[in-house]
Structure 1
Amino acid sequence: MLTFNPSLTPSPQDNSLLTDLYQLTMAACYVGEGIAEKRASFELFVRSLPDNFGYLIAMGLAQGLQYLENWRFTAEQIDYLKSTGIFDHVTPEFWSLLQNKGFTGDVWAVPEGTAILPNEPLLRVEAPLWQAQIVETYLLNTINYQTLIATRAARMRDVAGDKAILLEFGTRRAFSPQGAIWAARAALGAGFDATSNVLAAKELNQQPSGTMAHALVMAIKGLSGSEDEAFMAFNRYFPGSTLLIDTYDTISAAQQLADKMATGKLEVKGVRLDSGDLGSLSQKVRSLLPTVNIFASGDIDEWELERLRAENANIDGYGVGTRLVTGQPINGVYKLVEIDNIPTMKQSSHKMTYPGRKQIFRRYNNGIISSDRLALADETIQSGEKPLLELVVKKGKVLKENESLEIIRQRVKASLKSLPKDTHKITEPTPIQVDISQPLEMLHKSLIV
């Protein structure tokens, strides 16, 4: 029996059980039917983009590969599964497979930071059927969530421009502590400058960044009777830190800081506005503090960034939280496309899939994506095309080195630069054309029953 862990924080060794029950029951069924070792191919893709999205930015592959490297079942985990009683009728061979095998398959994937469109596989797993089945849940979890965050972050960076400072402040609103770290990674990879999450910054070899909360101003003012003293106290221990000035009266606080700066009693490098009409307030604060960086926070997203830019707001940087790390999910799916060299496809209404192992061939015109061709993996590349899916795992061995956030940032930047102008729009964008190759279309039609 597994030891009860009240923290509910899984370690890498626990992640083999971080799957849905039906993945394990299906795997046991495959074993019983003698098909568990048949070679299977599953592809992870989205059928459609969220509303007002013109593209997705692929993210989360690194954590997926780390999971596959560590994927194996311990004796303790197997004992737990047996103790549930759910598996009382499975064949003994099922337990032997779990006990003796790590991941032995191949994985093809697009590099993190690549722009992706509907029906295009972000990742393909080619492995024994039982293995490819069990790993579905974890791969969807990390890639769906990080792709959502990376796409939102890329859109915000696109709207804010290169000069604005973007800080990830979403930990308290992320869906879990693990999700908070993944969100920080995805945001940084997609172009954000820093995160307030100290653990994420440590693990990602980044410098954490943050300001102060209203509580400090209220506590010190409550005891000393002065908002001024709160600013002076924080600056005493953290010289040059950004000061939060909207706890009481934003303009009055800015004037107090201006007076202190004029007399040399205080050096202020940044202030943060967290409420009110950010555009109007920023202009008034700028008139009082012309040399100070102005940061804004409070329900910032790409549409709010666009509105503030249209109003000529005097804002140098943004702290983005809730609307970055939450929102309409990326509905990535993981579907069987081939079993034992036999193409397969789902034919449910509105959920039909394309059969066979596939490749994405991307074509550019003067550095701008002109179209994508979704084709069978063994089709010949045409002149001017670039294949996007790369072999990253071979026979269970990870081939791809862990990329730095800077490399991923540069790929995101190049991806954004390659998008057509109308695809950048954050409201009713024009999608890039995805052509279905003739052999894929013929195969698709041949399997319709």
Structure 2
Amino acid sequence: MTTIPIWDTQQTPELNISAADYSLLTDLYQLTMAACYTGEGLEQKQASFELFVRRLPEDFGYLIAMGLAQALEYLEKLRFSPEQIAALQATGIFAHVEESFWSLLAEARFTGDVWAVPEGTAVFANEPFLRVEAPLWQAQLVETYLLNTINYQTLVATRAARLRDIAGEQATLLEFGTRRAFSPQASLWAARAALAGGLDATSNVLAALQLGQQPSGTMAHALVMALSAMEGSEGEAFSAFHRYFPGAPLLIDTYDTVAAAQQLAEKVNSGKMQLSGVRLDSGDLVSLSKQVRSLLPEVDIFASGDLDEWEIAKLKAAGAEIDGYGLGTKLVTGSPVNGVYKLVEINNIPVMKQSSGKVTYPGRKQIFRSYAEGKATVDRLGLITDTPLAQETPLLQLVVKQGQHLQPPPTLAEIRQRTAASVTSLSEQTRRLDNPISVPVEISSTLQELTEQTKKGVGSRE
């Protein structure tokens, strides 16, 4: 009798994910390669893979590494259930693999080491965010999930850090991107990365509560229109919402922004309302914010509506009277972080990719960062056997040893502080939005020598 896989679409049409599904959230070729390694007797050979970007997104002078916590959680929970193995077998794709492959999956646990830069650290092109040192089949299998979480969270954290840098420390920055994130799962990661990157709060209730934070938000135009229609006026809509949520900002651009501000000013000045803030979501934000400020001088003004770091810079330069920003679409989408995950050593043999435009450096590496007067001046990419020079700090740290975490994860506040310190340590030319210049990354003499030897085949199996 044929067993129907538990993921048959007629039984489970929802495309949701839980920790129990992590093992199958991968590209097919990770499993087929693992099966091939097993058949060739190579599955337990020690391998090292490094995750890095070849180049930064356009107009980015740096990246803020993020997503390590979720990557380590994935490695810790990596398992294959009997049902999952049966589902793989039922596909027919693995009909010719060795039986030992299924035994390998049944007993699967991540037993390797992980080196990583701490979340919130600024990194540059060709610098490894992390390195996985593990039996070949394990190190290969985890590629897809690691890239997924680290690439996306790094993108959002970097955008958040840039937004904070441009808006300034006094501005309130709120993450509103849930409806624009690429999936419900992505919305949770985006909220976390945004907070760790420097934003103050998120409107995503689940993310906020899971992270021990207070969710934050305002109101939508629908409420203003619905209550205006049913209760007689926009002013009545404001009064009703304010009655239940006196601390929430009111959205005042549904009809006539200035007229709405005038109505609210009368209530505030007469003592009928204590208003904390208003939000502008459309129109000429510079002109409107100045008019609203003149009417409500003690009230915080928030702006939203497809804003990004460039728009905020323009608003500030034009003298807009804005105290905070709601960031959504352009924070959680945009230019992708094209991180890659490449084999750098197998069975103590350094290896490298030599494809045109995609050359990689061989061997296990370390990033050595130099500081002068609190500023990062230059990075040196070397081998793990290199010795730090004076004023250099090694960035990659051992975080998992033989499958076991070596220390508890840092708090969100600690990561946020590290992000702020990382950005502050960068020069103005690296932080600027237009034509930024990254911190120079030098290649150590030992890494250069190993690269040349590997190109020539020195050190490869005879």
- Find the residue that maps to 1:370 and give its secondary structure: strand
User: Hey, what's the Cα distance between the residues in 2 that align with 1:5 and 1:432?
Assistant: 49
Provide the C-alpha distance between the structure 1 equivalents of 2:392 and 2:269, rounded to a whole number of angstroms: 61
CA distance, structure 2, for counterparts of residue 271 and residue 322 of structure 1: 21
5 Å-filtered alignment, 1:141-220, equals: 141-220=148-227
1:402 CA drift (Å): 1.6
Cα distance in 2, alignment partners of residues 193 and 278 from structure 1: 22
Larger mean CA deviation between 21-30 and 256-265 belongs to: 256-265
Partner of residue 437 from structure 2, selected from 430, 437, 445: 430
Deviation at 1:136, TM superposition (A): 0.3
Deviations, residues 3-54 of structure 1 (Å, cap 9, x unaligned)? 4433311110110100000000000000001111100000000000000000
Deviation at 1:101, TM superposition (A): 2.3
| 1:233 lines up with 2:222 in the alignment | no
Q: Name 2:315's counterpart in structure 1.
A: 308
Q: How far has the Cα of 1:260 moved from its partner?
A: 1.3
Counterpart code for 2:64? I
The residue identity in structure 2 corresponding to 1:27 is: A
Q: How many residue pairs were aligned?
A: 449
Residues 35-434 of structure 1: matches in 2 within 5 Å? 35-434=42-441
Deviations 1:364-398 (A, max 9, x none): 01110110000011111112110000001100111
Cross-structure match for 2:6: 2
Shift of 1:225: 2.6
What is the rounded CA distance, in whole Å, between the counterparts of 2:266 and 2:273 in structure 1? 9
Q: Which amino acid aligns with 1:193?
A: D
**1:93 counterpart SS class:** helix
Cα distance in 2, alignment partners of residues 51 and 447 from structure 1: 31
TM-score when scaled to structure 1? 0.99
Which amino acid in the other structure matches residue 376 of structure 1? L
Q: Which residue of 1 aligns with 2:459?
A: none
CA distance in 1: counterparts of 2:342 and 2:278, whole angstroms: 49
C-alpha displacement at 1:447, in angstroms? 2.1
Q: Secondary structure at the match of 1:447?
A: helix
Paired letter, 1:2:
I
Which stretch has the larger CA shift, 396-405 or 174-183? 396-405
Match of 1:24 in 2: 31
1:267 Cα offset (Å): 1.9
1:316 aligned partner, one-letter code: D
Which whole-Å CA distance do the structure 1 matches of 2:124 and 2:408 have between them? 25
Tell me the CA shift for residue 282 of structure 1: 0.4
Please state how far the C-alpha of 1:264 moved relative to its aligned partner.
2.0
Q: What residue identity is the alignment partner of 2:396?
A: L
- Taking structure 2 as the reference length, the TM-score comes to 0.96
Structure 2, unpaired ranges of 5+: 457-462
Residue identity opposite 2:430 in structure 1: T
Quote the offset at 1:240 in angstroms: 2.7
Q: State percent identity of aligned pairs.
A: 66
Aligned-residue CA RMSD in angstroms?
A: 0.8
User: Partners in 1 of 2:210 and 2:276 — Cα distance?
Assistant: 28
**Inter-partner Cα distance in structure 1 for 2:253 and 2:413:** 34
Deviations 1:314-365 (A, max 9, x none): 1010000000000010000000000000000000000000000000000001
Partners of 1:239 and 1:382 in 2: how far apart?
57
Amino acid at match of 1:246: D
Give the letter for the 1:91 counterpart: E
Deviations 1:171-222 (A, max 9, x none): 0000000000000000000110000000000000000000000000000111
CA distance in 1, matches of 2:450, 2:269: 75
Partner residue in 2 for 1:444: 451
Deviation at 1:150, TM superposition (A): 0.2
Q: Which amino acid aligns with 1:221?
A: S
- Decide which moves more: 93-102 or 105-114: 93-102
Amino acid at match of 1:256: Q
1:207 counterpart SS class: coil
